[in-house]
Chains A and B, each alone.
Chain A
Amino acid sequence: MLFEWLNPYYLQIASFILINVILGVSIYVTLATGQLSLGNAGFMSIGAYTSALLTTAHGFPMAAGIVLGSLLAGVAGVLVGIPALRLRGVYLAIATLGFGEVVRVVFINWESLTGGAVGIAAIPQMGREILATLRNAGFSPESLGLRSNQFISLTVFLLLLAITSAVIFFFLRLSSSRVGRAYSAIRMDEAAGEATGIDTTYYKVLAFSQGALLSGFAGALYAHATSYISPADFTYHRAVEILVFAVFGGSEHLLGPVFGAMFLTVVPEVLRFVSDYRHILYGTLLVLMMVFRPQGVIDPSLVKRLAGRNPAKEI
């Protein structure tokens, strides 16, 4: 076989990295206005469950399910974002963490709809759906020298790669624009931003709901990448994991959480051979980071230095 080396297991990890990158961006966007939200696991589950239920129980096409799931998470973001304006810093973090847990408990207990703790299985899987469509059109992966499961994993990976790149592009451009400048002004000094003419309420709710929508989007993609979800996928461990992407990678530049998500998804897999000590190493790494580089691996001055060789300063 031509592509014998294409290992579906590695491809699946690569796909999870990409979904985690979107989650990293989702916490960054909200954080860009100085709001620390730990509710992203909750918004993620709203996107995942909505899309899963629409496609399994109601026969919606997958793309429609993903779009509606993301939008519903975005709407939930507006509803949580408005009262959240009254909270700052650690209080906002606690409130949003509480929100995430409430959502999870609702999904566990609303058994008639969500299947309770068991979750939802047999969710249409992206790769398989695409393969089925292509087979109907007379295509076979074997003609490319690929086994079906290789083709499925590869399709999912490539699709997510395109989507994630688009998400990063979208938010990189946003941050180097009028909207992005308003976000950073609010983060650095909210009262001065308001006095400078920025409608801080609008931009804070906008950033909060963008983060929620993006989490929901990641959740919907997750559901259709794994084809099985349960409330256990969206516990507060997930919320903290997302936070650590930003803390480790850096929260002052969009590429910080992107790097954080990539690195921290790969490391546990690489360290599998010392699996007994995995969490010790992971913890040590984080403590060392906090001591030696509290702003995270990537900060704006690093990005500037790396981009310095490139005359095209902005994307």
Chain B
Amino acid sequence: MALLELMDVSKNFGGLKAVSDVSFPVCEGEIVGLIGPNGAGKTTLFNVITSMFPPTAGRVQFRGEDIGGLRPHAVTRMGISRTFQNIRLFPRMTAEENVMVGRHARTRSGIWGSVFRTKAQRTEERLIRDKTGELLALAGLSGQEEHPAGKLSYGHQRRLEIARALAAEPGLLLLDEPVAGMNESETGEMHRLIRKIRDLGVTVLLIEHDMSLVMSVCDRLVVLNFGRKIAEGTPGEVRNNPEVVEAYLGKEEDGQDA
């Protein structure tokens, strides 16, 4: 059974069909790339998967359960975490606090425990800090704990957002353009980080325009254009698919100069 299963998902905004009848599975342990030109509906699909808004038609199943009608925090609790295309950290919190917030879905202390610092609350808080330290180390952010998130460098902010998403112990991690605007060495680090995350047992679905990253890191690709799925397969297959080439480069007209 697939970890995530999209079944004929459509999303309309008024008359605009942002996503039409898209179906594909994401299997446990895969790194799947979601690619396509700007405006193809990739981020819209992420927003549907995380229930930020409901699909107009179709269903999304995670571990065989429908996520339709759930609110986003409940989807996170089920095991789907995400990052945002335009980084959305809590800017005036420190790097550490950002990741600690990420633990929210997996912890339980309420008002009583917080105010009276019960034994359970203190234990939980210690575990939150331990886990946070681990994740910051994984993201290569050790030593930045006390830094306000909004003042970190761009590359660090991207990685901090991933650490925050991982704090919820997702089964599936959605990354929206993780290397947008990064230089080659930063892209290389992100490449290694994504592989490490998969090796920890987290399935990854990522949107990305950087083709060298997509081709080298992904096991499988799904290509969208104008809201429709136009291809699906291994990077090798997709690279040679004429429809994909057309979507990216335009159509070559016969007999005319290309």
Complex contact B76–A197 (CB within 8 A)? yes
B93 contacts partner chain A, Cβ-Cβ < 8 Å: yes
Q: Which residue of A lies closest to B117 (CB)?
A: A173
Which 10 pairs across A and B sit closest by C-beta, in order of nearness? A197-B105, A177-B114, A197-B76, A192-B88, A188-B90, A178-B109, A194-B72, A185-B101, A197-B104, A173-B115
Given A178-B107, A197-B105; A192-B84 close (CB under 8 Å)? yes
B121–A192 CB distance below 8 A: no
**A184 at interface by CB-CB < 8 Å:** yes
**Hey, which chain A residues are within 8 Å of B147, CB to CB?**
none
Is B168 at the interface (CB under 8 A from chain A)? Answer: yes
B149, closest chain A residue (CB): A188
- What CA separation (Å) do A221 and B72 show in the bound complex? 41
Tell which of B77, B89, B111, B115 touches A192, judged by Cβ atoms closer than 8 Å.
Answer: B89
> Smallest distance from the beta carbon of B151 to chain A beta carbons, Å?
12
Interface class of chain A by DSSP = helix
- CB pair A196 B164 closer than 8 Å: yes
Asked if B102 is at the interface (CB within 8 A of a chain A CB), the reply is: yes
Residues of B within 8 A of A (CB-CB), count:
39
- Tell me if B71 counts as interface (CB < 8 A to partner A): yes
A residues sitting closer than 8 Å to B (CB atoms) are 170, 173-174, 177-182, 184-185, 188-189, 191-201, 252, 300
Q: Which residue of B lies closest to A195 (CB)?
A: B72
CB closest chain-B residue, reference A175: B114
Distance in Å: Cβ of A279 to nearest Cβ of chain B: 34
Q: Measured between alpha carbons, how far is A189 from B98 in the docked complex, in Å?
A: 12
Which B positions have Cβ atoms within 8 angstroms of A? Answer: 50, 52, 71-74, 76-77, 81-82, 84, 88-93, 97, 100-102, 104-107, 109-111, 113-115, 117, 121, 124-125, 128, 164-165, 168
A156: min CB distance to chain B, Å: 26
Residues of B within 8 A of A200 (CB): 73
How far, in Å, is A27 (CB) from chain B's closest CB? Answer: 19
Across-interface contacts of B164 in A (CB, < 8 A): 196
Which residue of B is nearest A202, CB measured?
B73
Q: Which A residues touch B90, using CB under 8 A?
A: 184-185, 188-189, 192-193
Chain A nearest CB from B251 CB (Å) reads 38
A196:B111 contact, CB within 8 angstroms? no
Interface centre among B72, B76, B92, B102 (most CB of A within 10 A): B72
Q: Across the interface, do B111 and A174 meet the contact criterion of CB distance under 8 Å?
A: yes
Q: Are B114 and A198 in contact (CB under 8 A)?
A: no
Residues B114 and A179 in contact, CB atoms below 8 Å apart = yes
Most buried by B among A174, A180, A185, A200: A185
Complex: A191 Cα to B88 Cα, angstroms: 9
B168 and chain A: residue at smallest CB distance: A197
- Contact between A195 and B107, CB atoms less than 8 A apart: no
Please state if B168 and A196 are interface contacts (CB–CB under 8 Å): yes
Q: How close is A314's CB to chain B, nearest CB, in angstroms?
A: 10
